[in-house]
Amino acid sequence: MGPVFPFPVSLPRSRGKLAYELHQQLRAAILDGRLPARSLLPATRKVAEALGVARNTVVTVYDLLVAEGYLIPRKGAKPQVAEFARRRTSKPPQASVGIDEPRFASVWRTPFMAPSPARVLPERNFRLGIPDHRHFPHDIWRRLMAQALRRSSREPFAYAPSQGVPALREAIAQHAAFARAVACTADDVIVTSGAQQAFDLIARLLVTPGQTKVAVEEPGYPPVRAAFAAAGALLVPLPVDDEGLCVDRLPDDVRIVSVTPSHQSPTGVAMSLRRRSALLEFARRHRAVVVEDDYDGEFRFGGRPLDALQTLDRDAAVFYVGTFSKSMFPSLRKGFVVAPAWARDGLVAVKHCADSHCDAVTQSALAAFIRDGHLARHVRRMRSIYAGRRGALLDGLRRELGPWLQPIPSEAGLHLAARIRDPALAPQIVPTVLRFAAGAESTADYAMTRDIAPAVAFGYGVIDADEITATLFDLRRALDKRTRAGRTGG
């Protein structure tokens, strides 16, 4: 007796799986064309005999394939294979072709947007913008999360408001008023999934693709640039000097200006009051909007901070963006926008479209963390710890690296930058610094153009003072050798 199907069928010994296996194999054969469309299946009796299974098993499998639409039943006759597009096994699934796939919207057809590959760094390192986990009150946070989970388990499931949980907006408004003199109420606050989402939402709301010009700092924080570029903005990089963004160089047709006035990313300078006023005046005159990114302004080491742009603004031009990534931890993914009233409903609509809302339990726990004073206490404690590290960094830069590096004045945040005194030596100095000070970054990596003064930014979020001192001591000897060698060689 020849085979009952035009392909081998191999069934398992275990009885329980016979029907399942036969179904899988027949379906696969229909899908890949071994059982062609409109062909007739052999009679159930014949199949049962040929395969040595109960006829009822075959009947069941045929019925299933009919129910699923793979077979067409025909009264009193053999069922027929249905007609539909077959799987084509000849063609393997398409391989990854990266970001330049022609189906992608044009803004994504550039590696510029892709996340940078993860770096392998020693646990204590100079990387920027990561706070220290060793001093966070994990026990308090766990307790507040447990409370929030318990509370939520007693309430019916629901989607939360897109703008954010009211208790958290209330707490953020008080926190922003207290810590940064940002005048707002809970109504003005929109909770976001980190500051990055805040930029992304603002960009999507305000940018008309291919038209809206957005001024960004040069050098500046690349992910903010990415958010505006992804929305289709035309980016206008503007230089930063020791007073912050060079506001007098703003083209009149710029509609949005994105700045880090408390602590410029990455140079660390504070925008002077004069520049702040000029920027607000520019916004007023041109009906432009200012995005104020205050990512680590809570950590102040100098005297009184300059007022936030939001505080000085009287024309509803400023979107103030804050985050808990530095004051708490980045994987929390919680940030916020204090938005002008005219933009609030719009921003909430974008948030709703983007991801409905932020997870509600974490929002409640965060509200309690702020309200009960844990955030303020933690920031105060960390400020003094970071101040010690910053002091060690400044001392070391002056004592050991004075001939090569000049610290850029800065009074806040989790990192400090230093310029290369002799730009001509930058090609030798910068790589040496980055090799010794793991995690430190060249400010050139924050620039769109090549037209910036060479500098290196050192983070002190996760490194201890003695490690800073030791690293800079070693670095000095390396630079001594390298630049002496360079001089001798030249």
Query: Considering the rule CB under 8 A, would residue 209 count as an interface residue with a copy of itself?
Result: yes
The rounded radius of gyration (Å) of the Cα atoms in the chain is 31
Query: Where do the DSSP E strands lie in 100-180?
Result: none
Minimum distance from residue 428 beta carbon to a copy of itself (Å): 31
Task: Answer left, alpha or beta for residue 76, where phi above 0 means left and psi between -120 and 50 means alpha.
Answer: left
Residue from 8, 120, 342, 488 in contact with a copy of itself (CB under 8 A): 342
352 binds a copy of itself (CB under 8 A): yes
Q: What is the C-alpha end-to-end distance of the chain, expressed in Å?
A: 90
Task: Decide: helix, strand or coil at residue 289.
Answer: strand
Smaller CB separation from a copy of itself, 89 or 487? 89
In the complex, the smallest distance separating the C-beta of residue 412 from a copy of itself, rounded to whole angstroms, is 15
Q: How far is the CB of 71 from a copy of itself (least distance, A)?
A: 10
* SS3 per residue for 45-62: HHHHHHHCCCHHHHHHHH
**Interactions with a copy of itself, residue window 375-414 (CB under 8 A):** none
**Contact characters 33-72, a copy of itself, x per CB under 8 A:** -------------------------------x--xxxx--
Which C-beta is closer to a copy of itself: that of 289 or that of 472?
Answer: 289
Q: Are 192 and 166 in contact (CB under 8 A)?
A: no
CA-to-CA distance for 64 and 27, rounded, in angstroms? 10
Decide if residue 150 touches a copy of itself (CB under 8 A). yes
345 binds a copy of itself (CB under 8 A): yes
The 405-407 sheet, strands edge to edge: 405-407, 415-420, 455-459, 441-442
> Cβ–Cβ contacts within 10 Å for residue 431, how many?
12
Q: Which is nearer to a copy of itself, 276 or 476 (CB)?
A: 276
Binding positions for a copy of itself, 88-117, rule CB under 8 A? 88-89, 91, 93-99, 101, 103-106, 108, 113-115
Q: Which of residues 167-206 bind a copy of itself (CB under 8 A)?
A: 192-194, 196-197, 200, 204-206
The answer to whether residue 255 forms part of the interface with a copy of itself (CB under 8 A) is yes
Choose the binding region for a copy of itself from 4-12, 80-88, 172-180, 391-399 (rule: CB under 8 A).
80-88
Contact between 159 and a copy of itself by CB under 8 A: the answer reads: yes
Q: Which residues contact 276 (CB under 8 A, 6 or more apart)?
A: 261, 306, 307, 309, 312
Contacts of 151 (CB under 8 A, 6+ apart): 364
> Does residue 234 touch a copy of itself according to CB under 8 A?
no
- Pairing type for strands 335-338 and 189-192 reads antiparallel
Nearer of residues 131 and 407 to a copy of itself, judged by Cβ:
131
User: Where in 264-283 is the site for a copy of itself (CB under 8 A)?
Assistant: 272-274, 276-278, 280-281
- Lookup result for tokens 């960094």: 393
Q: Does 146 bind a copy of itself (CB under 8 A)?
A: yes
Rank residues 358 and 420 by Cβ distance to a copy of itself and give the closer one: 358
Based on the shown chain and the rule CB under 8 A, indicate whether residue 25 belongs to the binding site for a copy of itself.
Answer: no
The residue range among 48-56, 128-136, 469-477, 478-486 that interacts with a copy of itself, by the rule CB under 8 A, is: 128-136
Between the CA atoms of 239, 245, 247 and 250, what dihedral angle is there, to the nearest 10 degrees? 50
Q: Which of 29, 191, 216, 227 binds a copy of itself (CB under 8 A)?
A: 227
- Say if residues 172 and 322 touch (Cβ distance below 8 Å): yes
Q: Quick one: 345 or 451, whose CB is closer to a copy of itself?
A: 345
Residues 429-468 that bind a copy of itself (CB under 8 A): 462
In sequence order, the 6+-apart residues with CB closer than 8 A to the CB of 209 are 107, 231, 232, 233
State which of positions 280-319 bind a copy of itself (CB under 8 A).
280-281, 284, 287, 289, 303-304, 306-307, 312, 314-316
Cα–Cα distances in angstroms (integers) from residue 459 to residues 34, 413, 414, in the given order: 63, 9, 6
Q: How far is CA 108 from CA 214, 267, 385, in A?
A: 18, 28, 41
Residue 330 DSSP SS3: helix
- Rounded to a whole number of angstroms, the minimum distance from the CB of residue 467 to a copy of itself is 14
Nearer to a copy of itself, 8 or 93 (CB): 93
Please report, for residues 14, 15, 24, 164, the alpha-carbon distance to residue 63 in angstroms, rounded to integers and kept in the order given.
22, 19, 13, 52
Shortest Å distance, C-beta 452 to a copy of itself: 23
For position 131 contacting a copy of itself by CB under 8 A, the verdict is: yes
Q: Does 333 bind a copy of itself (CB under 8 A)?
A: yes
Contact with a copy of itself (CB under 8 A) among 18, 58, 160, 308: 160
> Which position has the token pair 């072709």?
97
In the complex, the smallest distance separating the C-beta of residue 94 from a copy of itself, rounded to whole angstroms, is 4
